[in-house]
């Protein structure tokens, strides 16, 4: 029977199962294949908090959501078209995300009495009338996989492990996708075990063929390639992009990269990634704790390397005192915070933007420092590169704020060439001859930046430290006038960075109007989508996503003045909104979601409409 091919503009799928089901791998494969095909994609993995929560339980459900389209997509999607559930628990947790009339694909074996009980079902939901609103495709994936692999001499465990390939193959059929990228992936992943290569490819094809031969579908779907800007693309995750950005900054500055870190979710992947790049002279150091991690980075920076340390909120708290030291020393240092739900241990695997105030003010004394954030997974590359540039060129520690959402999310990236990246200029103090004037470690240039004076350079012997420095000489000073002057000059140095960063642009909308939505960080995609939609509905709304939070771009105040109302959606209890209110004395309104999950487009649209209404009433 020939099947009709139906065109779709965009599709959102959520894959869900036990954390041992290979859900993340399945999602990533579908993503890569779709990206290679030319779709725009955006993904959002949702990990369980425990590594191996008891099998089949609600706590153990791992999810991977992706949206792919023939148009540009900026978010992993709000509600899903398709739910793939490997067991009853995964079904229960994710059903609320599925749209009415959506498609459910289930592994029936995951709905056996034991699984049902673990998920808290008295009777199988698959037999429930409420499912009539959806299209349910029931497959005994476990059995199909076993049948496909019969006589291959594999153990039950290995057979069950490849179940996810059956589902993937099935979806590839459903969305008219090519199997070869995944087959290639399987070949590389199991190079050492030809039997597993054969098995996984067999199951993948079995899934595909099942779609073809079974009478499940009356139609297949096609999501055409997106009209992305011309160029060559790859798919990339945020943490990976951050790692590459650091390597690029190392190359463009000519400085070796030092990365001192202590493992913590969701920052560890940057450490894993960088530790693979030893042939780029990247030195990774897994320190005994976060304090040692940043202190070793300070030592490396003192020695003249591009020094970076990363953590998430709890670890950043531990680094606080040492960040203050770096501010006093006025040496380059990049501090990455991949934010997660807090306070304390909070929600380690969930996303949040609640460490902005910590970055801004979380130190003793007057200790200002630049803060940069990224807008999306691929933007982590540019943002961290900028953080390195500012740190080196302005001799200061710099915060780069990422979050779990963009760190683990992925999207297509039109990657740059090395040649197209700006170079980073490094100014180190030169050797002194006998008759040269004495070296003054805290003498500043017109940007108020001091020179980087490396050990090993003749005539530059000097001592620095955390005690207040005397103007120019850097010697210890408790002089009251000197302290005030030094506090002011350190602040002025950071403020002056505004001269070397781009002006704030609008990401959408007109330069003046009723409502301005200001965002920062990973809310970019959802605000972009919501504002676009509102504009098509005729609402007067614009969007500015701020990457440079300290100092702000010089024109931000002017830009804000062009609007009657300002709303600031954040995944926290209101942080940027306080800074904006304080800085520009405006009545900005916070839109806050603190659930460990990103905003949906509708939530932002509702907020925009409310703001618009208030403006109209006034």
- The footprint of other proteins on residues 395-424 (CB under 8 A) is 415-418
Q: Write out the binding residues for other proteins, residues 265-284 only, by CB under 8 A.
A: 277-281, 283
Q: Does 190 bind other proteins (CB under 8 A)?
A: no
**Phi, psi of 521, rounded to the nearest 5 degrees:** 75, -145
Q: b/e for 239-252, b at 16 or more Cβ within 10 A?
A: bbbbbbbbbbbbbb
Alpha-carbon dihedral sign for residues 115, 117, 120, 123: positive
Exposure letters 13-32 (e unless 16+ CB within 10 A, then b)? bbbbbbbebbbbbbbbbbbb
For the CB of residue 9, give the shortest distance to other proteins in the complex, in Å. 17
- Between 84 and 247, CB nearer to other proteins: 247
Please list the residues that pair with 586 across neighbouring strands: none
Residue with smaller CB distance to other proteins, 261 or 532: 261
How do beta strands 4-7 and 333-339 pair?
Answer: unpaired
Taking the complex as a whole, how short is the minimal distance between the CB of residue 81 and other proteins, in angstroms?
Answer: 24
How far is Cα 177 from Cα 172, in angstroms, rounded to an integer? 5
Decide if residue 461 touches other proteins (CB under 8 A). yes
Q: Contacting other proteins (CB under 8 A), which of 15, 37, 385, 520?
A: 37
Smallest gap, in angstroms, from Cβ of residue 41 to other proteins?
Answer: 12
Site for other proteins in 107-126 (CB under 8 A): none
Q: Which of residues 318-347 bind other proteins (CB under 8 A)?
A: 321-322, 325, 329
Element (H or E) spanning 59, and its range? none
Residues 127-186 within binding reach of other proteins (CB under 8 A): 181
Of 60, 110, 207, 304, the one binding other proteins (CB under 8 A) is: 304
Any contact of residue 364 with other proteins (CB under 8 A)? no
Tokens found for residue 384: 């961290």
CA angle 59, 64, 68 (to 5 degrees): 160
* Shortest reach from residue 400's CB to other proteins, in Å: 19
Q: Which stretch binds other proteins (CB under 8 A): 35-43, 110-118, 398-406, 480-488?
A: 35-43
The 209-238 site mask, x for binding other proteins (CB under 8 A), equals: ----------------x-xxxxxxxxxx--
Shortest reach from residue 464's CB to other proteins, in Å = 6
Binding footprint of other proteins, residue count (CB under 8 A) = 71
The CB-of-191 to other proteins minimum distance in angstroms stands at 14
Task: Mark the segment that binds other proteins (CB under 8 A) among 62-70, 255-263, 524-532, 582-590.
Answer: 255-263
Residue nearer to other proteins on the CB measure, 54 or 416: 416
Binding flag, residue 258, other proteins (CB under 8 A): yes
Sign of the dihedral defined by the CA atoms of residues 115, 118, 121, 123, in that order = positive
Looking only at residues 464 through 523 of this chain, which bind other proteins when binding is defined by CB under 8 A? 464-467, 475-476
Taking the CA atoms of residue 120, residue 122, residue 126 and residue 127 in that order, the dihedral angle to the nearest 10 degrees is -170
Quickly count: other Cβ atoms within 10 Å of residue 174's Cβ.
Answer: 22
Residues in a beta bridge with 391: none
What's the CA gap between 272 and 112, in Å, rounded? 38
- Shortest distance, position 230 Cβ to other proteins, whole Å: 5
458 belongs to the binding site for other proteins (CB under 8 A): yes
Contact with other proteins (CB under 8 A): which of 146, 209, 256, 477?
256
CB of 64 to other proteins, least distance (A): 18
What residues contact residue 486 under an 8 Å CB cut-off, 6+ apart?
Answer: 468, 469, 471
Give whichever of 16 and 392 is closer to other proteins, judged by the CB atom: 392
Report DSSP state, residue 585.
-
Q: Is 296 in the site for other proteins (CB under 8 A)?
A: yes
Q: Which CB sits closer to other proteins, 466 or 557?
A: 466
151: left (phi over 0), alpha (psi -120 to 50) or beta: left
Question: Which CB sits closer to other proteins, 116 or 247?
Answer: 247
Pick one of 178, 289, 445, 537: the residue that binds other proteins (CB under 8 A). Answer: 289
Nearest to 552 by CA among 411, 363, 356: 356
| Buried-exposed string 417-442: b where 16+ CB fall within 10 A, e elsewhere | eeeebeebeeeebeebeeeeeebbbb
Which residue of 297, 308, 380, 531 would you call a contact of other proteins, by CB under 8 A? 297
Closest contact distance (angstroms) between CB of 460 and other proteins is 7
Residues 6+ apart with CB under 8 A from 556: 504, 544, 546, 584
73-75-80 Cα angle (round to 5): 95
Exactly one of 3, 8, 20, 32 binds other proteins (CB under 8 A); which one? 32
The least CB distance from residue 124 to other proteins, in Å, is 40
| Contact present, 560 and 610 (Cβ < 8 Å) | no
Nearest distance in Å: CB 540, other proteins: 33
Omega of the bond leading into 466 within 30 degrees of 0 (cis): no
Q: What is the DSSP letter of 261?
A: E
**Nearest one of 156, 147, 138 to 202, comparing CA atoms:** 147
Question: Is 321:367 a contact under the CB 8 Å cutoff?
Answer: no
Residue 588 found at the interface with other proteins (CB under 8 A): no
Q: Would you say 465 or 502 has its CB closer to other proteins?
A: 465
Stretch that binds other proteins, among 146-154, 345-353, 370-378, 451-459 (CB under 8 A): 451-459
Minimum CB–partner distance for residue 57 and other proteins (Å): 35
Q: Does 295 bind other proteins (CB under 8 A)?
A: yes
257: contact with other proteins by CB under 8 A: no
Q: How are beta strands 80-85 and 410-413 bridged, if at all?
A: unpaired
Distance of closest approach, residue 136 Cβ to other proteins, in angstroms: 34
């Amino acid at each position: 029977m020939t099947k009709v091919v139906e065109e779709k503009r965009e599709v959102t799928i959520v894959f869900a199962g036990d954390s041992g089901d290979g859900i993340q791998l399945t999602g990533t494969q579908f993503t890569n294949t779709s990206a290679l095909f030319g779709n725009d994609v955006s993904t959002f993995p949702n990990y369980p908090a425990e590594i191996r929560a008891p099998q089949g339980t609600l706590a153990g459900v791992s999810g991977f959501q992706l949206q792919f389209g023939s148009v540009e997509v900026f978010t992993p999607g709000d509600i899903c078209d398709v739910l793939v559930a490997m067991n009853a628990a995964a079904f229960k947790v994710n059903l609320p995300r599925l749209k009415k009339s959506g498609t459910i694909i289930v592994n029936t074996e995951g709905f056996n009495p034991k699984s049902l009980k673990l998920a808290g079902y008295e009777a199988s939901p698959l037999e429930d009338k409420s499912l009539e609103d959806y299209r349910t495709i029931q497959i005994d994936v476990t059995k199909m996989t076993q049948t496909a692999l019969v006589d291959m001499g594999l153990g039950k465990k290995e057979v069950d492990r490849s179940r996810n390939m059956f589902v993937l193959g099935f979806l590839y059929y459903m969305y008219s996708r090519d199997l070869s990228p995944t087959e290639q992936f399987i070949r590389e992943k199991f190079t050492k075990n030809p039997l597993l290569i054969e098995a996984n490819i067999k199951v993948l094809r079995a899934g595909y063929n099942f779609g073809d031969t079974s009478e499940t579908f009356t139609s297949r779907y096609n999501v055409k390639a997106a009209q992305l800007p011309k160029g060559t693309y790859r798919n990339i995750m945020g943490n990976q992009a951050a790692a590459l950005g650091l390597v690029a900054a190392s190359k463009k500055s000519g400085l070796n990269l030092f990365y001192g870190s202590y493992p913590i979710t969701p920052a560890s992947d940057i450490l894993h990634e960088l530790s693979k790049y030893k042939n780029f002279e990247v030195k990774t150091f897994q320190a005994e704790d976060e304090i040692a991690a940043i202190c070793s980075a300070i030592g490396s920076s003192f020695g003249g390397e591009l020094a970076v340390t990363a953590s998430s909120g709890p670890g950043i708290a531990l680094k606080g005192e040492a960040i203050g030291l770096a501010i006093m020393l006025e040496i380059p240092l990049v501090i990455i915070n991949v934010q997660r739900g807090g306070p304390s241990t909070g929600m380690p695997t969930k996303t949040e933007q609640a460490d902005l105030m910590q970055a801004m003010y979380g130190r003793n004394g007057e200790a200002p420092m630049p803060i940069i954030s990224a807008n999306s997974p691929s933007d982590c590359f540019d943002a961290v590169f900028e953080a390195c540039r500012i740190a080196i060129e302005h001799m200061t520690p710099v915060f780069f704020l990422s979050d779990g959402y963009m760190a683990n999310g992925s999207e297509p990236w039109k990657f740059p060439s090395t040649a197209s990246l700006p170079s980073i200029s490094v100014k180190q103090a030169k050797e002194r001859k006998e008759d040269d004037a004495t070296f003054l470690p805290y003498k500043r240039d017109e940007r108020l930046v001091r020179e980087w004076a490396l050990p090993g350079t003749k005539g530059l012997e000097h001592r620095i430290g955390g005690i207040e420095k005397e103007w120019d000489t850097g010697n210890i000073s408790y002089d009251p006038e000197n302290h005030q002057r030094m506090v002011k000059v350190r602040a002025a140095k950071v403020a002056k960075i505004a001269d070397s960063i781009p002006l704030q642009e609008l990401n959408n909308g007109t330069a003046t109007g009723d409502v301005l939505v200001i965002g920062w960080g990973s809310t970019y995609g959802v605000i972009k989508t919501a504002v676009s939609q509102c504009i098509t509905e005729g609402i007067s709304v614009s969007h500015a996503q701020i990457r440079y939070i300290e100092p702000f771009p010089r024109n931000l105040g002017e830009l804000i003045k062009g609007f009657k109302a300002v709303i600031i959606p954040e995944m926290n209890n209101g942080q940027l909104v306080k800074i904006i209110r304080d800085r520009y004395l405006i009545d900005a309104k916070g839109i806050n979601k603190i659930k460990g999950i990103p905003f949906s487009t509708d939530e932002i649209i509702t907020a925009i409409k409310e703001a618009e209404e208030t403006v109209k009433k006034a």
